[in-house]
Structure 1
Amino acid sequence: MGFFTGFAPTSTASLFPGQLISYRHIQNLGISAEPVKPVEPASLNRSLMAKISTARDPTDTTPKEEPRNLLIVITTTRSDDMFQEAFLTRLAQSLRLVPPPLLWIVVQAHSEASATADMLRKTGIMYRHLTFKENFTDAEAEADHQRNVALGHIEHHRLTGIVHFAGISNIYDPQLFEEIRRIEVFGTWPVAMVSANRKRVVVDGPSCNSSKVVGWPVGNLNYEGTSTAPASLGMASKPARINISGFAFNSSVLWDPERWGRPTSMPDTSQDSFKFVQEVMVEDENKLKCIPPDSSEIMLWHLHIPRVIPLPFRQKQNKR
């Protein structure tokens, strides 16, 4: 069972019907005691009126800007991560650079939520803070549960948009978010994994011909220093797995399978929506768009930082 709280900036409309829209209290509102004299018709500026009339000409054929798709960014957390608040703050700064509309869903254990809730309120980002009370001993099982809590929330409220799982250690090229908005059904891209204590980058992702996925490398592309020679690789038609942050999908896949050519007599996916999405995405490669075309550049880096501080460093910190 998940619970959620959230905040939407005063300039942003509510996503949910029936929800009250917050407003600013008006202070020092002055009222003039003297009546306002009506403007004489002779004093009206006819040339100005003509300009206004021309500006509102209904025959204007200037193309209107198409509305942007809603980005739904899901972030899971870990109770034993001592750098969690710092990473969430950094990710929030990245998301603030993304043009709206964007909804950030942060999932967290109920016992750890109070401090994060205070931080989220200060970000200025439209968000939902979902919590859960279940206890886990396995970190991966907990992460999967959190993803399912978020997807269940999206499905329940029929939030229409493009869903992406953003790890708190991710570093983004802002242009990636605009590419994600253009996804119709599924999209995927390479993820570069960087370690803080190694001079090596591991690239995990698809092999593409233009925007079409043509295969999945078996193994990883390793880059040592300035060398770009890939290690010995094979190619598979189906991936063994897809990096959690290396794909996005249209949220309507969760509740409107017929729209995307899926059978309606599918097994109940309410308990594991995340696994369902991964399976459907791999099966429907014709609907899988490669970002950017030909995988020509890296737009997302996952920074691995050890969560355990070495003992000598702790001793030095304690002496200060």
Structure 2
Amino acid sequence: MHFLNKKKQYIAIGMLIFVALFFFHSRPAFQCQIAQETINSNLPTIYGITPTYARLTQKADLTRLSQTLMLVKNIHWIVIEDSETKTKLVSNFLKESTLKYTHLNVKTQKAKHSTASGVEQRNLALSWLREHLNKSEDKRGVVYFMDDDNTYALKVFEEMRKIQKVGVWPVGIVGGMRVEMPLVTDGKVSGYNAVWKPFRPFPIDMAGFAINATLFLQFPEAKFSRGVQSGFQESEILKYVATKDDLEPLAENCTKVYVWHTRTQKPSILNPKKLKTPLLPDGHIEV
């Protein structure tokens, strides 16, 4: 009997030690999680607007971009398909991404004299954004128009948290240049280093600026236009919300490149019917 009592005491002491160790290790992690959630809630939301269209490299491009966005705090990804309906590929991809997202779709309306892409898609996203902000208590945010095949460093998202109105920065590998960038004098944009149609009102690439989200409530008419050519869409949207004097040079006074206008090369796929060695059918595999 004395042995059994001792055994019960040892078991009780062991359980107390286990519980103490459990709370000792769990409490800091819990506190850290709460602190991280508080930090994220205090950050303005970045609304990344990405038009996309069906092609062989679409999933690969979206995968690369989503892997970057997973490392960005408090981001809301708005993906708009150039399609009559939402495709199974993009729908499943977004569901599995773990990102906060909104999935939209609208088919491009072809125009004889316009080669611009993403016009209807970005405008639909802006309509959704206005409706969303009107319903939200916290209207803070930044709108960034993101092509799905560009390359983004995490620092570009850190920079745009500073935006009061419209932030600008350099873009690498665009417009026939190593880097296209605003020129800065005494902390203000004084000109642009651009050779492709430098007479544009804002010779800036779509990846080279972001806009305070509340400006789209102040200027409900701000949108892209099918009436202007490719390369002028940036100027078209910026003319509603800012002048050159309003632009805020970021990325160390526009001396650092944190985004590149990369493009995925169209893959060359062999025709199985022309091969001497027959291949197994792969139509059931999503690429």
Whether these two folds match at TM > 0.5 is yes
Let me know the Cα RMSD of the aligned residues.
3.6
Residue of structure 2 in register with 1:297 after alignment: 256
Residues matched between the structures, number: 227
Residue of structure 2 in register with 1:175 after alignment: 155
Residue of structure 2 in register with 1:154 after alignment: 129
One-letter identity of the residue aligned with 2:149: S
Cα drift, residue 272 of structure 1 = 4.7
Structure-2 separation of matches of 1:177 and 1:314: 47
User: Aligned to 2:52, which of 52, 71, 77?
Assistant: 77
Structure 2 unaligned blocks of 5 or more: 1-37, 227-232, 280-287
| Residues 72, 157 of structure 2: 8 Å contact kept | yes
One-letter identity of the residue aligned with 2:254: S
Per mean C-alpha deviation after superposition, the further-off stretch among 68-77 and 272-281 is: 272-281
Cα drift, residue 241 of structure 1 = 3.3
Superposed CA deviations along residues 144-186 of structure 1, whole A, max 9, x for unmatched, are 1111111111112226310001111111110110111110100
Report whether the alignment pairs 1:280 with 2:240: yes
Secondary structure in 2 aligned to 1:305? coil
| Residues 163, 249 of structure 1: 8 Å contact kept | yes
Aligned in 2, Cα 1:95/1:210: closer, same or farther, shift over 3 Å?
farther
Report whether the alignment pairs 1:92 with 2:66: yes
Aligned in 2, Cα 1:163/1:145: closer, same or farther, shift over 3 Å?
same
Residue of structure 1 in register with 2:6 after alignment: none
Structure-2 separation of matches of 1:141 and 1:296: 29
- TM-score of the two chains, using structure 2 as the length reference: 0.67
Report whether the alignment pairs 1:107 with 2:66: no
Structure-1 separation of matches of 2:254 and 2:224: 34
Aligned in 2, Cα 1:73/1:271: closer, same or farther, shift over 3 Å?
closer
| Residues 77, 101 of structure 2: 8 Å contact kept | yes
One-letter identity of the residue aligned with 1:173: A
| Residues 211, 293 of structure 1: 8 Å contact kept | no
Cα drift, residue 277 of structure 1 = 2.8
Report whether the alignment pairs 1:116 with 2:90: yes
Secondary structure in 1 aligned to 2:260? strand
Aligned in 2, Cα 1:294/1:114: closer, same or farther, shift over 3 Å?
same
Residue of structure 2 in register with 1:24 after alignment: none
User: Aligned to 2:207, which of 240, 245, 249?
Assistant: 245
Residue of structure 2 in register with 1:136 after alignment: 110
| Residues 75, 168 of structure 1: 8 Å contact kept | yes
Cα drift, residue 276 of structure 1 = 5.2
More helix by share: 2
Structure-2 separation of matches of 1:72 and 1:269: 16
Structure-2 separation of matches of 1:317 and 1:254: 58
Secondary structure in 2 aligned to 1:154? helix
Structure-2 separation of matches of 1:313 and 1:208: 55
Structure 1 unaligned blocks of 5 or more: 1-63, 221-233, 258-265
Structure-2 separation of matches of 1:128 and 1:279: 27
Superposed CA deviations along residues 203-251 of structure 1, whole A, max 9, x for unmatched, are 122112364211112416xxxxxxxxxxxxx987x74532111110011
